[in-house]
Amino acid sequence: MNRKGLKAHAGVHKSILRGLCDAGQCSDAVLHFREMSKTCPPDSVTYNTMINGLSKSDRLDDAIRLLEEMVDNGFAPNVFSYNTVLHGFCKANRVENALWLLEQMVMRGCPPDVVSYTTVINGLCKLDQVDEACRVMDKMIQRGCQPNVITYGTLVDGFCRVGDLDGAVELVRKMTERGYRPNAITYNNIMHGLCSGRKLDSALQLFKEMEESGSCPPDVFTYSTIVDSLVKSGKVDDACRLVEAMVSKGCSPNVVTYSSLLHGLCKAGKLDEATALLQRMTRSGCSPNIVTYNTIIDGHCKLGRIDEAYHLLEEMVDGGCQPNVVTYTVLLDAFCKCGKAEDAIGLVEVMVEKGYVPNLFTYNSLLDMFCKKDEVERACQLLSSMIQKGCVPNVVSYNTVIAGLCKATKVHEGVLLLEQMLSNNCVPDIVTFNTIIDAMCKTYRVDIAYELFNLIQESGCTPNLVTYNSLVHGLCKSRRFDQAEYLLREMTRKQGCSPDIITYNTVIDGLCKSKRVDRAYKLFLQMLSDGLAPDDVTYSIVISSLCKWRFMDEANNVLELMLKNGFDPGAITYGTLIDGFCKTGNLDKALEILQLLLSKGSYPDVVTFSIFIDWLSKRGRLRQAGELLETMLRAGLVPDTVTYNTLLKGFCDASRTEDAVDLFEVMRQCGCEPDNATYTTLVGHLVDKKSYKDLLAEVSKSMVDTGFKLNHELSSKLEASVSAS
């Protein structure tokens, strides 16, 4: 009876211990174990129950001590006992202990099984110790324990984790040679690794192997991985074709597949196709999730299709998918960028009703919208409101409003906001300072701009090119050219902020406008020596100013440099040079430049032609002047009355009556009405020509009919001529 009772008593103890361990009450289980040991010595089953419970509760040191006690008491722990502790060690990332215990198993005559080795290999791989995991597998095979498909799959995943995709593929090859067929998990792990490493071609090759193997066709995870990778590589059409193939082979896309493809279509601007795919997704019974809706809503917003985006918001709510802060933020940003202020405010109110607190991004979007709509007062009110509601503005918030104030010429308020920014411990950046400095310079308050310039360095910022260019522009605008030149030289001396073409052009233009052409030209030469290439603006400014002050040799040198560096001076610059050379009497050079312009298939404007015809005519070079007039007409340019009058006077002065008469006819045929100067010149010439009495009468009558009158002297001569006839 006692013996039977003892057995029954031991069974009860085991049940109690198992119940306590399963309930996670290991402390109570240990107490009960110690109490029972006094009257009922534990057997191997009892020890295994306790070791398993302690290991699962992460009391691994206690489990090891109990394992040692088990051995000391003459029991041989079985592989299950060891595997339980091995699993615990690996779960706790104590792989050194796991490796030690694995060797203890061998030494104590309990050969580790495939579970033992796979557990340790998995633990090592999770810590990226793949080389050590490979050594464990080698030992495993040497000791006669063959890895199974899970062992291989675990090590393949380890290779993928550390980015050794070649190692993963090689292991799959060995696995296949040893008669093991990789399962979908193994393939998918490699597939994911290849796609993450942007090795799409290798992933597609592996995908093809899966299809051809027959034993392990691609599953939805495989397809989704490839679709996502194709989309990220910009191959949206290929991704669409793959989804079609997927469906045709009986594999239904899931929400991840659809969402990836939708993202690609939206990114490519194919919103109509994306909308059709969303409808197809819903019809197939695959419910879109928040990521799906956010993706397509964002796509519509980026193309300015706000109404469609808002309709999708309503659709998702009706379908039971609640918007999140991302949904609202995307829509709000779109409303703000489109300037839909009331819609944006309304959406914020909806957000608040739904329990979402507007964040900094929300406020910044609204601030930017108000400032761009020139509603800077509302922006200022919103800035105050966000502070009151506990949302601390950042430098972007302040910069946006300061820029809005400066744009509205409320520069003083912008400075006050800068002071508020500093008092609220928000450190201004260079954009803050540049905005106010630029506004000060544009309103001729350069001294205040300089004070801010000094404050930049005190606040830990470094002035950049924008800072210097604003100051240089302000100084030139205020005609403080000496300071502008000094600042430019200071920039040259400072490392990291060399003047650019805008800096030089600003100072050169200012000097030219203030009649300091010699200094402007010297600065231009300095610019060249500093290795900064002028642009077309620089050349045009310098040439125009040199021509204006008759420095024609220098102007010609600049022109040659401009042409050498591949710039086309353009009709205006050519016209300036032509005028300059004409006014200095160098008509041949002026003609040379004109021919250069014409050889490029370009034509100067009417003014340039007129200047040239005027000077040629005054110097009696009427043939060339006439040819230029013909060139004008061929180019489709309409000579004005001044142009015709200039050449007409030249013909008359040279007594070339026929040419003068022909030109008068051409002038009228081209629709250019003669003016008083035209009639006076022609009548004055014809009045002494007896052979042109009829034409003189016709011209005189036309003159009177159009309301023009001859001066007294010419009128008397005309009357005398008529009387004589």
pLDDT at 209 (0 to 100): 84
At residue 384, does pLDDT exceed 80? yes
Total-model pTM: 0.63
The pLDDT confidence band at residue 2, using thresholds 50, 70 and 90, is very low
**What distances in angstroms separate CA 173 from CA 117, 217, 526, one per listed residue?**
21, 17, 69
Nearest in space to 329 (alpha carbons), one of 300, 298, 354: 298
Among 8-12, 584-588, 635-639, the minimum mean pLDDT is found in 8-12
pLDDT at 3 (0 to 100): 41
For 235, the 3-state DSSP assignment is coil
Torsion of CA 474, 475, 476, 478, to 10 degrees: 90
pLDDT tens for residues 221-240? 999 999 999 999 999 999 99
Q: Please, are residues 407 and 414 in contact by the beta-carbon 8 Å criterion? A: no
**In whole angstroms, what is the distance from residue 486 CA to residue 448 CA?**
18
**In whole angstroms, what is the distance from residue 310 CA to residue 317 CA?**
11
Q: Which CATH number is 505-602 given? A: 1.25.40.10
At residue 558, does pLDDT exceed 70? yes
Handedness of CA 288, 291, 295, 298 (dihedral sign): positive
Q: Please, are residues 291 and 261 in contact by the beta-carbon 8 Å criterion? A: no
pLDDT at 127 (0 to 100): 93
pLDDT tens for residues 163-180? 888 888 888 888 888 888
At residue 32, does pLDDT exceed 80? no
